[in-house]
Amino acid sequence: MMNVRKTSIFVLIIIIALAFVFTACDNENDNTGDTQDTQDTQDTPQQFDNIPAAQNETPDTDGSFNDITAAQLVADIKIGWNLGDTLDAHDHGEGWLSDTVLGMETAWGKPVTTKEMITAIKNAGFNAIRIPVTWYKAADSNYNIRADWMARVTEIVDYAVDNDMYIILNTHHDEHIFRLTNEQKNTSLNAFEKIWEQIADNFKNYNEKLIFEALNEPRTVGVPHEWTGGNAEEWANLNEYYQLFVNTIRESGGNNDKRILMVNTYGGYGGQNAIDGLVIPADTVSDKIIVSIHVYQPYHFAQNGAPVGTEYSVDTWSKSNSEDTSPITDPIYRAYNRFISNGIPVIIGEFGAQDKNNEAVRAQWAEFYIGYAKSRGVKCFLWDNGTFDINDGELMGFFDRNNNTFPFQDYLAGLMRGAEGEWEEENTTITKTVVFNENIYDAGDGQGEIAHGYQVRFPLSELLGSIQVADGDTYTLTYMVTSNVAIGNLQAVLVDTRQAVDHWKELSGYVDIGAVNIDSPVSGTKAITAAETAGDSSDSANQFVLVINESDIAASAPTLTFTALSLVKDNSFS
């Protein structure tokens, strides 16, 4: 018995020693770590059952909370930056991901995040940061988040708190466990609720500058419509996620009962189908929801990473070309009309343009993009994946985190010009001779049809550059005009003519310019207010029309000469 006891004690000492060694190894802060065995993560997260679930105490903050609306918060954002390819790094279910905290953070080759990095971003002019986080990789089979991972996310959030920045914290690349099909919805909703319960509890005492973003680009991976807006089944299920999200956060205590929350369209898509498919969840407090879309446009300039000249990839862009500007303005208009005009603010959570040795052009693009979005009340967050080598992926690198520098100073300056400057719609005073040679008839139903009377129309882009008329827009028309025949009353109207060459949708009411005399110039200014929104920013959808009723003219086919004609858009938006 004595020998057995000694042997048992010896074995126990060895076990304790080995346990100490393994624990120490597990807590090492290296970037490599042991790799996991390959496993299918499509239905469950990677297994960390041997690691304690998150049991951290809720971080202690000063408790102050400025109870502002979502619109007030968005208005105070200047421009935001994404800490991309860092906390969101994962292994696509291939099983090679390190199980150490810093190993997971640096899995995609980006350096460990430091407070100095975030301070450099703030000093460069960004007052907001989006922190994408993938959670399933650090959760056990019951979706309990590891304490050390939650602590590291908190540490990085605190870097931004110390810099007095607005912070968006989300779930990112968790499509493996958050599914949108009817078949997988219930299990996924359980995982979604469990993950957000823990995030909400950990950050419940933070102030109003911390925003929770429910998802990233919620979608069904691999289906044909993955990046084109989804379908009815997925929209319904996604909206169920968002209602659960709001309910979960509001019930979690602390400041979360009034925290501002953000929801995304399907896939972050800015198409009308995805925008219309999103239902703003019911809330216990008013005006606390933001909508987010992602807009990498024009695609072949901004996101197509093929060598320039192949696969339609281009390195040129011009604000005077509607084919270059409308892919930017169209989704912003859609979001403005669907949400902002109804009191719901919008953020572009991701945008950017790959480096194609075209920094000067990217700077012009950035100034236009940010300035235009700002004019509509939309604030933008630049996607930065820290990649500068084509062999490492998409060249969306902006801030070099290896040395805390900004390699593209012109690009940075363009972003800041857009964020800080006053947006000015392009407007031109032109001279123009117009010949009225088409008859029209207005049935009084807002649809102009050719019958009798006279009209001439031309694209608004001649006066304003690329434009999409939106409900509520106001314009000042300035003119000096003469006619070859006396006209009793000249009228102007904005229309969308996409439906047919002889058919239009009125975007504004008819504005009376008044009588025009023979050889005696008539001048003045008139206000035109849009009551409808053009279908897109194409020339055919945004037309300026001059109209003369048949009773207001004695001769046919009159000719008007404008020695001055301009249309200036009022930049005040709700």
Nearest CA to 548 out of 460, 487, 501, 483 is that of 487
Angle at 188 between CA 187 and CA 193, to 5 degrees: 105
Task: For residue 53, give the 3-state DSSP assignment.
Answer: strand
Handedness of CA 540, 541, 544, 545 (dihedral sign): positive
Among candidates 431, 436, 453, 448, which has minimal Cα distance to 493? Answer: 448
Give the start-end residues of each E strand in 111-200: 128-131, 166-170
φ/ψ of residue 267, rounded to 5: 65, 10
Q: Quick check: 59 and 202 in contact, CB under 8 A? A: yes
Measure the CA–CA gap between 386 and 87, rounded to whole angstroms: 13
Distance of CA 195 to the CA centre of its chain: 24
Encoded tokens for 384 = 């930065």
Q: H helices within 27-92, ranges in order?
A: 70-76
Count Cβ atoms below 10 Å from residue 97 Cβ, excluding itself: 22
Q: Which residues are catalytic?
A: 217, 350
SS3 11: helix
| 3 state SS of 45 | coil
Contact 225, 277 (CB under 8 A): no
Contact, 368 vs 353, CB < 8 A? no
For strand 559-569 and strand 430-435, is the pairing parallel, antiparallel, or unpaired? antiparallel
Sheet with 559-569: strands ordered across: 430-435, 559-569, 474-483, 522-529
Q: 228: number of CA atoms within 13 Å, CB side? A: 4
Q: In the structure encoding, which two tokens stand for residue 49, read together? A: 């059952």
Side chain identity, residue 218 = P
Exposed (0-12), middle (13-18) or buried (19+): which is 21, by Cβ within 10 Å? exposed
Displacement of CA 464 from its chain's centroid (Å):
25
Q: What gap in Å lies between CA 437 and CA 475, rounded to an integer? A: 26
* 442 DSSP β-pair partners: 448
User: Is residue 484 classed as helix, strand or coil in its secondary structure?
Assistant: coil
d(CA 327, CA 173): 26
Q: How far apart (Å, rounded) are the C-alpha atoms in residues 200 and 455?
A: 61
- What is the three-class DSSP state of 152? helix
CA angle 95, 99, 105 (to 5 degrees): 100
Alpha helices (H) along 215-321: 232-250, 272-277, 299-302
| Helix ranges, 27-100 (H) | 70-76
